[in-house]
Structure 1
Amino acid sequence: MVGRWIRRAAVLAAVSAAVLALPTPGFAHVEVTADQAQAGAANVTVSFSAESESKTAGIASLRVVLPDGIRPDQVAWVSGPTGWTLTPGADGYTVAGPALPAGEDAKYAVKIAQLPAGATSLPFRTLQTYSDGHIDRWIEIPTPGQAEPDAPAPVLTLQPASVTSAAPTTLPATPTATAAGPNTPAAADPAAKQSGPSWPVIGIAGLLLAVAVIVTVAALRRRRGPATPQA
């Protein structure tokens, strides 16, 4: 009987040790939202909220590594704690200023010129530095279907880019003949060319008529014979 209880206690101790050995998720996070969470969107205001987990030191700066497809020069400061400013870096930016009171979250917003067109999610890895030099590294990318990592990076989930219908191709209009007006030259109207007499034809007809007259006159003279001189 005693041996049975000992075995049960050993099993419970092993289970408890296994549970305690499991990594516990971090309680503080950096949250990210956007007014246009859609791939390819332009002039998007992205807001961040970095939770404080220190009771003795305040947040003094946040360094962000931008996701692929967004350059530092595409990010502009919108709002944040009093006295804080944005400084671009090689792969992201840093927002910093006077340290906030201990326990106060750091909230700020930036404007991004354009989100990547083919992206489905955007991780913003963040290094959160306190006034005492302590750094929280929110840089682990969560994997769908798996437990959240200890220090997850803030990830902005995007809707697919909007698909706009392509404008129909307009072929050039076929030119149509315009009826000739009273002041329109006949040469501009194909119908006028066909209905009016042709000058070369008139010239040939006139020449033939002249030849016929000459031949007729000559024939009449031959019939009459030479003129008889009068005494």
Structure 2
Amino acid sequence: MSLSHACRRLVAVTAGVTALTLGLALPALAHVTINPGTAVQGSFTKVAFRVPNERDDASTNKVEVSFPLDHPLPFVSVKPVPGWKVKVVEGKLPKPVTTEYGEVTEAVTTITWSGGKIEAGQFQEFEVSMGALPKDTDQLVFPTTQTYSGGEVVKWADEPKADGSEAERPAPTLKLTPAPAEGSEPAASATPATAPAASTSTTAPSVAPVALAADSSDGTARLLGGAGLLVGLVGVVIGALGLRRGRTS
């Protein structure tokens, strides 16, 4: 087998493997997701529900996101999306939930965006500001329904599996991390605390060596600059003499 034939065969095999890899990866990339995927417990955050269009023959024209009722969010607001209508629905909770802001009996249950279009090969992000995030859970799940112009309805409602494997149609999930413990500041933050003691001393601030070093380096730079200029002038003179001799000869 010739070298050129072997190279063509290698290229063909590589292309096939690449296409297979991309083909296997596409379904994972097409999921409806929440970005960023993590936030701090007890905080307020802004997230974007990223909705890709998976169909070549239809556009996405409606997206409905369901909010958790077991961990309601007291404050929710949406950012307008050009070309889309938004509807925020609030409802009574199955049972009141006590939060640091008091007892919550009603909360946002769904947010629906409609009237726009996500064409084939495109995606859209729908931004929501919400909080305060609960402190007694490590995740919030937002089941999402995606509707296509042809009438197809896809429900992204599968909760994360306990073994860590991916569900067939995973719901957008926001992972919650514990807030940093109070007083757990970096060690470097202790440095400013010693500054007042140093300022009460009668000793003059130790800035002179720094200024001296700056003057010294400045003088060195000027000396090197002058030497470079001198070398340049010598080169010009030598070049002129050489040109003159050439003309004379």
Q: Name the one with the larger strand percent.
A: 2
Question: Which residue, out of 131, 148, 157, partners 2:149?
Answer: 131
User: Are 2:60 and 1:59 equivalent residues in the alignment?
Assistant: yes
Which amino acid is the alignment partner of residue 41 of structure 1?
A: S
CA distance in 1 between counterparts of 2:38 and 2:155 reads: 27
Unaligned runs of at least 5 residues, structure 2: 1-25, 92-108, 184-249
Q: Deviations over 1:49-107 (max 9, x none)?
A: 11211111111111111123224x63211243533324325422212222232332121
Question: 1:135-150 to 2 correspondence within 5 Å?
Answer: 135-150=153-168
Question: Which residue, out of 124, 149, 154, partners 1:106?
Answer: 124
C-alpha displacement of 1:39: 0.8
Q: Deviations over 1:1-57 (max 9, x none)?
A: xxxxxxxxxxxxxxxxxxxxxxxx954201112497111102x11111112111111
Which amino acid is the alignment partner of residue 161 of structure 1?
A: A
Question: 1:1-231 to 2 correspondence within 5 Å?
Answer: 26-27=27-28, 28-34=30-36, 37-42=39-44, 44-67=45-68, 68-71=70-73, 74-90=75-91, 91-164=109-182
Q: Deviations over 1:181-214 (max 9, x none)?
A: xxxxxxxxxxxxxxxxxxxxxxxxxxxxxxxxxx
Which amino acid is the alignment partner of residue 63 of structure 2?
A: L
Which amino acid is the alignment partner of residue 66 of structure 1?
A: F
CA distance in 2 between counterparts of 1:81 and 1:39 reads: 31
Q: Deviations over 1:154-195 (max 9, x none)?
A: 111111134336xxxxxxxxxxxxxxxxxxxxxxxxxxxxxx
Classify 1:84/1:100 alpha carbon distance in 2 versus 1 (closer, same or farther; 3 Å): farther
C-alpha contact (below 8 Å) 2:53/2:118 kept by paired residues: no
CA distance in 2 between counterparts of 1:50 and 1:78 reads: 15
Sequence identity percentage: 28
Q: 3-state SS of the aligned residue for 2:42? A: coil
CA distance in 2 between counterparts of 1:49 and 1:61 reads: 13
2:10 is matched with which residue? none
C-alpha contact (below 8 Å) 1:58/1:104 kept by paired residues: no
C-alpha contact (below 8 Å) 2:86/2:111 kept by paired residues: no
Q: Name the one with the larger helix percent.
A: 2
C-alpha displacement of 1:138: 0.4
CA distance in 2 between counterparts of 1:127 and 1:35 reads: 19
CA RMSD of aligned residues (A): 2.6
Q: How many residue pairs are counted as aligned between the two chains?
A: 140
CA distance in 2 between counterparts of 1:133 and 1:117 reads: 39
C-alpha contact (below 8 Å) 2:139/2:174 kept by paired residues: yes
Structure with higher Rg: it is 1
C-alpha contact (below 8 Å) 1:58/1:103 kept by paired residues: no
CA distance in 1 between counterparts of 2:90 and 2:146 reads: 16
Which amino acid is the alignment partner of residue 39 of structure 1?
A: Q
